[in-house]
Amino acid sequence: MAPATVTDTHCPYCALQCAMRLTVDDTGVTVEPRDFPTNRGGLCQKGWTSAALLTAPDRITTPLIRNGAGELAPASWDEAYDLIVRTVATVQSESGSDAVAVFGGGGLTNEKAYALGKFARVALGTAMIDYNGRFCMSSAAAAGNRAFGLDRGLPFPLADLGDADAILLVGSNLAETMPPAVQHIAPVRERGGLIVIDPRRTPTAQLTEDGGGIHLQALPGTDIVVLLGLLHVVIAEAGVDEEYVAERVNGWEAVRRSAAQWWPEAVERATGVPASQIRSAARELIAASPARGGRGAYILTGRGAEQHAHGTDTVTAAINLALALGLPGRVGSGYGCVTGQGNGQGGREHGQKADQLPGYRKIDDPAARQHVASVWGVDVDAIPGPGVPAVELLSRLGEADGPRVLMVHGANPVVSAPDAAQVRRRMAALDLLVVCDFVPSETTQLADVVLPITQWAEEAGTMTSLEGRILRRHKAVEPPTGVRDELTILHDLAERLGSEAAFSVEPSEVMDELALASAGGVADYAGVSHDRLDDGPPLYWPCPTPEHEGTPRLFLDRFAHADGKAVMVDVRPTPVDDDLRADAPMYLITGRLLQHYQSGAQTRRVRALVKAQPHGFVQIHPVAAQRLGIEEGERVQVTSSRGTAVAPARLSDEVRPDTVFMPFHFGGDACANDVTNPATDPISGMPEFKVCAVSVSRLDPA
């Protein structure tokens, strides 16, 4: 029997990046949690069962090329590379560089995200790159940049939360999506200071029951009104930290005037939240604020607030409230976004976003372009300008002036994009769809070429957690014969494409290059290296030199705008983009389940998780179900003007009677995103995942 090896690494799934230890012996891989400040020795069911991914029976271990019979058939790496390079050359010579597009993912390591952004710009010469993080936290990123001049999910350690007197969670269901994080809010709940805005009585909202706090169960799409109502009461009851606002904030007067109209009674009419609850919640926040001698308060947003066609404004309303209370940039208080994807934070910092270069630099900033070009060893003019956000990129696939080739890395957009059926149709119009993945997905099923890749425990790299803390991912097991890591794939393709820039296959070298490219940028990793992370603790960015200790807390002295002040923006409610009407009289809201992650491509093949949550469902209030003649378990169709999803009914009073909920982890008939709305936020490009008008009926009415 070979001796066991023990490797410390982090979970393959969400942004909490729980620390785990993998023990590998002849019997397989065993997962144990490690004590770490974010997970404090905890893992959720996904983390505990993550080793099952490494032995997935349908693992892809050879490149696949679609043959004349329309089937994906095994091929050699050379055959796959040759087909890709030949098609890219033909398409670009006929239709220009931007006829080739790249779609990345928020689960890629920092090194892969960096290499992918560089590959798109200098090996393919295309501006058409974006990633699925656009579907995740882009509204919070846009609002954070607008307010603070910088976006880092949590600009403070997660462990700070427990010291506060109050926490307002806006559309974040962390008790279900990242259960170990509940340890951080539990002390606040014990003090009765947990406030949750959510149209659903989620497990997180249920924490407010029995004296834990207040659940504001607003009508879908009206979070911004609730936030304006809270600000109104804060102003009316002299809860504004006037000294802080005068010293540290621009834009207050317009916001103050605008909030005047949002009396709690008006908020109640617009949202369904009782005026008394609005007042109680605001008083809780005021009492917790440092200006009133409280221990501190936090306001946190999640996807429920952000995944809207006006998500940036909703998050801005949350930030305005936090600034009025004097919370951001103070130890023990603040505003933050609870990022979702495993490397949602790092994924948006290193250049796979349409408008950004490494270091979170703007791609149209001449100085940033010059700096990055010098690191890449290319002429500055070789770096294309900004591309287009993900929804627009996907909507233009196969069109006359749109991309004809698409390369997908770490994503399953035919399940995860809004109006997913339309995305499937667009993909069918491509000359070539290339998908890198380690297991089959709904997107690999449409591919012309599938490239089999390594997965988390088979590769080294770094991830940046929701706190902006850079963590080491270590290799614990050898990958199966036949697969390659994406750094190697990008290197090989870049070489065949005749790229001027060199691409390393060694993750530590890529990190060193990333550190150089990010130096002086907002997300400055210049002081970060694999060796340093291996020898010491994880580092919070910015970390500009090898001697710098990193920055756990941002904004303590100044915000990142030139004058050091935060900016409030006067935001107003807008009607739901696809609102109720006679033939679509109910709202659909979508979200996540404890057992599944993103499009479910990984978790839907882990037996224990599938046993617990085998398929999608339609959660419907018993009163609505009775009105519609729907019984528990009956197949129900949910139809919008885009399409229909079909799944069994689950009767529950966790949803409002005017609303149904579907998890978005499932493809096929139960694909919730066949129904959702592709309308996008004009600032962030975030699609309207969270609310649309639908009709709901039994599949086969009696």
Indicate whether 174 belongs to the interface with ligand SF4 (CB under 6 A). no
Q: Which residue is nearest to ligand SF4 (CB)?
A: 47
Instruction: Report, in Å, the least distance between residue 607 CB and ligand SF4.
Output: 17
Binds ligand SF4 by CB under 6 A, chosen from 16, 108, 169, 322: 16
Instruction: Report, in Å, the least distance between residue 42 CB and ligand SF4.
Output: 7
Indicate whether 180 belongs to the interface with ligand SF4 (CB under 6 A). yes
Indicate whether 18 belongs to the interface with ligand SF4 (CB under 6 A). yes
Nearer to ligand SF4 by Cβ, of 603 and 676: the residue is 603
Backbone φ/ψ region at 226: left (φ over 0), alpha (ψ -120 to 50), beta: alpha
Binds ligand SF4 by CB under 6 A, chosen from 13, 103, 252, 360: 13
Helices (H), 29-76: 45-48
Instruction: Report, in Å, the least distance between residue 15 CB and ligand SF4.
Output: 7
Whether residue 542 is preceded by a cis peptide bond, meaning omega within 30 degrees of 0, is: yes
Considering Cα of 159, then 160, then 163, then 169, what sign does the dihedral take?
Answer: negative
By rule CB under 6 A, what count of residues binds ligand SF4?
A: 14
Hey, what are 423's tokens?
């995305």
| Choices 174-182, 406-414, 569-577, 617-625 (CB under 6 A): range interacting with ligand SF4 | 174-182
Instruction: Report, in Å, the least distance between residue 112 CB and ligand SF4.
Output: 18
Instruction: Report, in Å, the least distance between residue 43 CB and ligand SF4.
Output: 4
| Choices 11-19, 99-107, 331-339, 539-547 (CB under 6 A): range interacting with ligand SF4 | 11-19
Instruction: Report, in Å, the least distance between residue 329 CB and ligand SF4.
Output: 28
Nearer to ligand SF4 by Cβ, of 11 and 54: the residue is 11
Instruction: Report, in Å, the least distance between residue 23 CB and ligand SF4.
Output: 17
Nearer to ligand SF4 by Cβ, of 302 and 542: the residue is 302
DSSP string, 652-701: -TTS-TTEEEEES---GGG-GGGTSEEEE-TTT--EE-S-EEEEEEESS-
Closest of 651, 647, 624 to residue 635, by C-alpha: 647
Bridge partners of 30, per DSSP, are 23
Nearer to ligand SF4 by Cβ, of 16 and 354: the residue is 16
Nearer to ligand SF4 by Cβ, of 133 and 221: the residue is 133
Indicate whether 127 belongs to the interface with ligand SF4 (CB under 6 A). no
| Choices 6-14, 308-316, 349-357, 443-451 (CB under 6 A): range interacting with ligand SF4 | 6-14
Give long-range contacts, CB 8 A cutoff, 24+ apart: 359-364. 359/517, 359/518, 359/519, 359/520, 359/521, 359/522, 359/523, 359/524, 359/525, 360/150, 360/151, 360/518, 360/521, 360/522, 360/523, 361/521, 361/522
Instruction: Report, in Å, the least distance between residue 420 CB and ligand SF4.
Output: 23
Residue 186 CB contacts under 8 Å (≥ 6 apart), including other chains? 162
Nearer to ligand SF4 by Cβ, of 22 and 624: the residue is 22
Please answer whether residues 291 and 241 qualify as being in contact, where contact means their C-beta atoms are separated by less than 8 angstroms: yes
Binds ligand SF4 by CB under 6 A, chosen from 9, 14, 81, 510: 14
Site residues (CB under 6 A) for ligand SF4, limited to 27-86: 39, 43-44, 46-47
| Choices 173-181, 317-325, 430-438, 541-549 (CB under 6 A): range interacting with ligand SF4 | 173-181
| Choices 15-23, 369-377, 514-522, 578-586 (CB under 6 A): range interacting with ligand SF4 | 15-23
Burial class (CB in 10 A: 0-12, 13-18, 19+), 68: exposed
Nearer to ligand SF4 by Cβ, of 179 and 264: the residue is 179
| Choices 13-21, 101-109, 132-140, 187-195 (CB under 6 A): range interacting with ligand SF4 | 13-21
Indicate whether 137 belongs to the interface with ligand SF4 (CB under 6 A). no
Nearer to ligand SF4 by Cβ, of 576 and 606: the residue is 606
Residue 437 CB contacts under 8 Å (≥ 6 apart), including other chains? 60, 408, 410, 412, 443, 444, 450, 451, 452, 453, 601
Q: Are strands 405-409 and 100-104 parallel, antiparallel or unpaired?
A: parallel
Hey, what are 492's tokens?
């090989």
Cα–Cα distance measured from residue 696 to residue 657, given in angstroms and rounded to the nearest whole number: 12
CA dihedral defined by 438, 442, 443, 444, rounded to 10 degrees? 50
| Choices 172-180, 375-383, 541-549, 562-570 (CB under 6 A): range interacting with ligand SF4 | 172-180
Considering Cα of 378, then 382, then 387, then 390, what sign does the dihedral take?
Answer: negative
| Choices 175-183, 269-277, 506-514, 668-676 (CB under 6 A): range interacting with ligand SF4 | 175-183
Cα–Cα distance measured from residue 476 to residue 12, given in angstroms and rounded to the nearest whole number: 13
Instruction: Report, in Å, the least distance between residue 13 CB and ligand SF4.
Output: 3
Task: List C-alpha distances in Å: 639 to 381, 395, 578, 598.
Answer: 48, 21, 13, 22
Cβ atoms < 10 Å from Cβ of 373: 20
Report which residue type is found at 453.
I
Instruction: Report, in Å, the least distance between residue 324 CB and ligand SF4.
Output: 32
Nearer to ligand SF4 by Cβ, of 44 and 477: the residue is 44
Instruction: Report, in Å, the least distance between residue 665 CB and ligand SF4.
Output: 13
Closest of 668, 665, 669 to residue 604, by C-alpha: 665
Cα–Cα distance measured from residue 560 to residue 582, given in angstroms and rounded to the nearest whole number: 48
Nearer to ligand SF4 by Cβ, of 13 and 617: the residue is 13
Binds ligand SF4 by CB under 6 A, chosen from 65, 73, 178, 556: 178
Can you state the angle between helices 223-236 and 311-324, rounded to 10 degrees?
A: 20
Nearer to ligand SF4 by Cβ, of 46 and 484: the residue is 46
Instruction: Report, in Å, the least distance between residue 18 CB and ligand SF4.
Output: 3
Cα–Cα distance measured from residue 524 to residue 533, given in angstroms and rounded to the nearest whole number: 15
Residue 326 CB contacts under 8 Å (≥ 6 apart), including other chains? 240, 241, 243, 244, 245, 289, 290, 291, 333
Binds ligand SF4 by CB under 6 A, chosen from 17, 271, 464, 637: 17
Nearer to ligand SF4 by Cβ, of 375 and 471: the residue is 471
Bridge partners of 305, per DSSP, are none
| Choices 163-171, 178-186, 195-203, 307-315 (CB under 6 A): range interacting with ligand SF4 | 178-186
Instruction: Report, in Å, the least distance between residue 465 CB and ligand SF4.
Output: 9
Nearer to ligand SF4 by Cβ, of 180 and 351: the residue is 180
Contacts with ligand SF4 by CB under 6 A lie at 11, 13-14, 16-18, 39, 43-44, 46-47, 178-180
